A = this chain, B = another copy of it.
Amino acid sequence: MTSPEDRVRELGLEIPDYANPPYGGRYGGGLKAFHRIGALVELSGLTPESRAGEQLHPGVVGADVSLDQARAAARLTAVHSLGMIRYAIGSLDRVVALSRALCFVLCAPGFDRLNEVSNAATELYLDVFGPDVGSVGRASIGAVSLTRSNCFELWLSLECAADTPAR
């Protein structure tokens, strides 16, 4: 059986390393990447920004960002979350199941296809983890602004194996 770590290699995904530089420094002091209580892991907000701060398709979806561009940004954000999961629990293979993803889309009034943006993120999870582990609860919310005008932001919780060592 293909494990999630095998699968990301097959897919050739470039998963960023959240160990270095430490998460959050660009945005302000006192941020951390995640918190774990028992098997519950709550991740900090994720964006379509590289560790160096390069943004994919910043702007307002339905105005200066197209649906396809927003989907690319959402998918990239999900790839970034894989790096954050690795950082939090050491390996994607320790994910028991994703729990919920709250998806914020910077968009124009009247843009009502938010689910199609978020699908690009959650379809990646399905592809990497399979349906038992990678299916996820979700809501998609239109934001009037996001930091640095990122077009997408992700707020994810998940369950890890109970015997995952503390970081």
- Is A164 interfacial (CB-CB < 8 Å)? no
CA distance A45 to B99 in the complex (A): 12
Given contacts A27-B119, A126-B29, contact A137 B44 (CB under 8 A): yes
B-contacting residues of A (Cβ < 8 Å)? Answer: 24, 27-35, 37-40, 42-45, 60, 97-100, 102, 104-116, 118-119, 122-123, 125-126, 131, 134-149, 153, 155, 157, 159
- B111, B137, B146: the one contacting A114 at CB < 8 Å is B146
Residues of B within 8 A of A44 (CB): 100, 136-139
Count of this chain's copies in the oligomeric assembly: 3
CA distance A99 to B41 in the complex (A): 9
Say whether A142 contacts B139, CB under 8 Å. Answer: no
Say whether B37 contacts A114, CB under 8 Å. Answer: no
| Chain B: CB-nearest residue to A30 | B126
Residues of B within 8 A of A28 (CB): 115-116, 118-119, 122-123
Most buried by B among A113, A114, A122, A139: A139
Residues of B within 8 A of A97 (CB): 35
Residues of B within 8 A of A32 (CB): 135-137
Residues of B within 8 A of A126 (CB): 29-30
Given contacts A113-B147, A137-B43, contact A30 B122 (CB under 8 A): yes
Say whether B37 contacts A107, CB under 8 Å. Answer: no
Say whether A30 contacts B144, CB under 8 Å. Answer: no
Most buried by B among A38, A137, A140: A137
